[in-house]
């Protein structure tokens, strides 16, 4: 990556405006050479009917952070990223507080990026373990 941590976080938080990430109140909070971390509040707006964090909200966090992370490994003037597969194992329930999604690169190819995203609670307990595959496409010039 050729960006500073501050540039990465500012860019991610900026391009989240008026999107699902803003609706879910996802905020990018940490970045490094091979990872990106975002947090999301757990409250009734992301609960399923039994008052627990909805698995779909966890997957939305995972795909958001993994897709954003891929963006920093491409040339955005010539390429774009599309998520093509995501899987999730939900391991622990949570009713309130924050969850943190940390995407770490497993494979960085020219056309595919594979990410592992660990979603943890405020105590560091693993809530969900996700795997995301992103495809890198050439940007079509219009």
DSSP-derived secondary structure letter, 47: B
Alpha helices in 24-140 (DSSP H): 55-71
Identified catalytic residue from 63, 85, 116, 122: 63
**Catalytic: 63?**
yes
Tell me how long the chain is.
Answer: 142
- 100's CB contacts (< 8 A; 6+ apart) are 29, 37, 38, 39, 40, 119, 120, 121, 122
Phi-psi group of 72: left, alpha or beta (phi > 0 → left; psi -120 to 50 → alpha; rest → beta)? alpha
Q: Give the integer Cα–Cα distance in Å for 34 and 70.
A: 10
3-state secondary structure of 22: helix
Find where tokens 């976080």 sit: 9
Q: Enumerate the active-site residues.
A: 63
């Amino acid at each position: 990556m050729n960006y500073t941590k501050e540039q990465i976080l500012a860019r991610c938080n900026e391009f989240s405006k008026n999107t699902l990430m803003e609706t879910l109140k996802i905020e990018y909070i940490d970045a490094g050479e091979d990872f990106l971390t975002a947090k999301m509040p757990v409250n009734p707006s992301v609960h399923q009917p039994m008052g627990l964090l909805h698995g779909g909200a966890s997957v939305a966090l995972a795909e958001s952070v993994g897709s954003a992370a891929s963006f920093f490994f491409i040339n955005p003037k010539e390429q774009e990223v599309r998520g093509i597969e995501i899987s999730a194992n939900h391991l622990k329930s949570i009713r309130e507080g924050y969850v943190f999604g940390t995407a770490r690169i497993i494979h960085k190819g020219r056309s595919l990026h594979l990410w592992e995203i660990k979603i943890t609670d405020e105590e560091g307990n693993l809530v969900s373990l996700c795997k995301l595959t992103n495809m890198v496409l050439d940007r079509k010039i219009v």
